[in-house]
């Protein structure tokens, strides 16, 4: 029982942390629409996906964890599994798309023109369509959404012995985890190499401190994002209760990685939200 109360408390804190942090950034985008450039369009889509996971999943999790059993019946299980699978997989694909965007911008800058707003919107739509495709299949009889072994959450039936279900599970493992993680590793490895080369040349030409700091920020961003893409095995076992909990844990981390580490967005938040230090930040051009 103490274990269940601990999980419910964790979900409670996670819910409010994710709701406040994601809402603050979303509010900033609404008040400062000029911030919505092509890289930030991926950030905005990720925030919206995270909010869906947070609002739909956490209240159901909280009550189920607190009571030590799934509280929402079979229909609730199917709804929860479908909604969380779709949003969680969309999150992974958007993170991968962000890695590709940064790879092009830093490693292949001559191709940066490909990331127009129209193409980015199409890319975001493709991420949603791909995740929806895999999430719908269990509703059509290819695998199904069932209560997990913990008895408190719902997800894909990964323990099924049916051949079609096993094939689906293997494909999901590849397309929802291994392939996106491999793309992230490739992109950020190339980014590391490119930035290292740029830094070496910068030292030779004595570039200014601002440019150096900006490049260092890109390195830090790449390291953090790489950890998120492939480092789930480092998360303590008690948090890795189900894939759904992993996805919902990330929603409180994503704003820190993809938004608060963005200087332009931090400045805009300081100007827009009083308790973020708005009185200390002067608008650009003043």
Question: Is residue 137 included in any domain, yes or no?
Answer: yes
8 Å CB contact between 41 and 101: no
How far is Cα 70 from Cα 120, in angstroms, rounded to an integer? 39
CATH number, residue 205: 1.20.1070.10
User: From start to end of the chain, where are the E strands?
Assistant: 145-147, 154-156
**Per-residue pLDDT for 99 more than 70?**
yes
Q: What's the domain count of the chain?
A: 1
Owning domain of residue 249? 2-277
Taking alpha carbons only, the member of 258, 276, 103, 100 closest to residue 179 is 100
8 Å CB contact between 152 and 60: no
**Per-residue pLDDT for 94 more than 50?**
yes
**DSSP code at position 149:** T
Question: Is residue 50 included in any domain, yes or no?
Answer: yes
Which stretch, 18-27, 219-228, 258-267, has highest mean pLDDT? Answer: 18-27
* 95, 128, 166 from 171: Cα distances, Å: 19, 17, 9
For residue 181, what is the enclosing H or E element?
helix 179-205
* 45, 48, 227, 272 from 25: Cα distances, Å: 12, 10, 22, 10
Question: Is residue 59 included in any domain, yes or no?
Answer: yes
Question: Is residue 284 included in any domain, yes or no?
Answer: no
- Rounded to an integer, the average pLDDT of 266-272 is 84
- For residue 281, the model assigns a pLDDT of 44
Which pLDDT tens digit goes with each residue over 1-50?
555 778 788 889 889 988 998 888 889 899 988 888 888 898 889 888 88
Q: Which residues contact 103 (CB under 8 A, 6 or more apart)?
A: 186, 187, 188, 190, 191
How far is Cα 230 from Cα 115, in angstroms, rounded to an integer? 25
**Per-residue pLDDT for 121 more than 90?**
yes
How far is Cα 282 from Cα 22, in angstroms, rounded to an integer? 24
- For residue 272, the model assigns a pLDDT of 85
- For residue 266, the model assigns a pLDDT of 81
pLDDT grade for 204, boundaries at 50, 70 and 90:
low
Question: Is residue 283 included in any domain, yes or no?
Answer: no
Which stretch, 95-99, 260-264, 279-283, has highest mean pLDDT? Answer: 95-99
Average pLDDT, the chain: 80
Higher per-residue pLDDT: 212 or 253? 253
- For residue 112, the model assigns a pLDDT of 86
Length of the chain: 286
**Per-residue pLDDT for 210 more than 80?**
no
- For residue 263, the model assigns a pLDDT of 78
- For residue 203, the model assigns a pLDDT of 62
74: tokens are 């079979």
Which pLDDT tens digit goes with each residue over 137-186?
999 999 999 997 778 888 888 888 999 999 999 999 898 888 998 998 89
Question: Is residue 286 included in any domain, yes or no?
Answer: no
Q: Which residues contact 5 (CB under 8 A, 6 or more apart)?
A: 66
- For residue 170, the model assigns a pLDDT of 92
Question: Is residue 10 included in any domain, yes or no?
Answer: yes
- For residue 234, the model assigns a pLDDT of 39
- For residue 229, the model assigns a pLDDT of 55
Question: Is residue 127 included in any domain, yes or no?
Answer: yes
8 Å CB contact between 258 and 98: yes
């Amino acid at each position: 029982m103490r274990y269940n109360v601990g999980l419910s408390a964790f979900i409670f804190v996670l819910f409010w942390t994710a709701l406040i942090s994601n809402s603050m950034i979303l509010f900033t985008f609404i008040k400062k629409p000029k911030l919505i450039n092509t890289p930030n369009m991926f950030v905005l889509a990720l925030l919206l996906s995270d909010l869906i996971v947070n609002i739909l999943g956490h209240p159901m999790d909280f009550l189920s964890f607190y009571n030590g059993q799934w509280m929402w019946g079979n229909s609730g299980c199917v709804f929860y599994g479908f909604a969380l699978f779709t949003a969680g997989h969309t999150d992974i694909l958007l993170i991968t798309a962000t890695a590709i965007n940064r790879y092009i911008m830093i490693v292949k800058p001559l191709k940066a023109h490909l990331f127009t707003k129209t193409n980015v919107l199409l890319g975001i739509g493709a991420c949603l369509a791909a995740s929806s495709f895999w999430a719908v299949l269990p509703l059509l009889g290819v695998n199904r959404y069932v209560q997990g072994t913990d008895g408190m959450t719902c997800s894909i039936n990964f323990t099924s012995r049916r051949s079609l279900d096993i094939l689906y599970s293997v494909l999901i493992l590849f397309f929802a985890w291994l392939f996106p993680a491999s793309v992230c590793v490739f992109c950020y490895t190339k980014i590391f190499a490119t930035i290292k080369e740029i830094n070496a040349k910068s030292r030779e030409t004595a570039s200014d401190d601002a440019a150096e700091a900006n490049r260092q920020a890109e390195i830090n961003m790449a390291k953090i994002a790489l950890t998120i893409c492939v480092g789930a095995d480092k998360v303590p076992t008690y948090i890795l209760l189900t894939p759904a909990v992993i996805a919902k844990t990330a929603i409180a981390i994503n704003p820190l990685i993809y938004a608060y580490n963005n200087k332009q967005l931090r400045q805009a938040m300081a100007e827009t939200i009083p308790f973020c230090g708005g009185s200390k930040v002067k608008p650009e051009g003043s």
